[in-house]
Amino acid sequence: MTKEVTDIEVEVVEIDGIAPAAPRERSGDPPRRGDWQDWRQWQGKVRRLDGRWWPLWVALGILALFLALTLGLVLGVIFLVFRILMSLLRSILR
């Protein structure tokens, strides 16, 4: 007994009172890509930032500045503690 694959072709007439969209015929032309995918125009887009994103860049800049200042302060405190400890050891060992 062999099993045969059966293909069933169905046409949907209506679903919940709405007719489905008719399938589009494919043409021989490839679909047109948007301007953002055109490699020739990337040079101008890479060099300038989109104006809609400036709040994000401001927030990220403030965050980066805060992290840099915090790191500098921590390194300064560590350096100061190291210098104080070294001066104490020098004064004790003399």
pLDDT per residue as tens digits for the range 36-75:
556 666 666 666 667 788 899 999 999 999 999 999 999 9
Q: Could you tell me the residue range of the domain that residue 63 belongs to?
A: 54-94
User: Is 81 within a domain?
Assistant: yes
User: Is 67 within a domain?
Assistant: yes
User: Is 63 within a domain?
Assistant: yes
User: Is 26 within a domain?
Assistant: no
For residue 54, count other CB atoms closer than 10 A to its CB: 10
Q: What is the pLDDT of residues 6-41, one digit of tens each?
A: 788 777 777 777 777 776 766 666 556 555 556 666
Tokens 């062999």 locate to 2
Phi first, then psi: what are they for 41, rounded to 5°?
A: -100, 0
Total count of domains within the chain: 1
Cα 22 from Cα 44, distance rounded (Å): 41
User: Is 68 within a domain?
Assistant: yes
Q: Which residues contact 41 (CB under 8 A, 6 or more apart)?
A: 35
3-state secondary structure of 36: helix
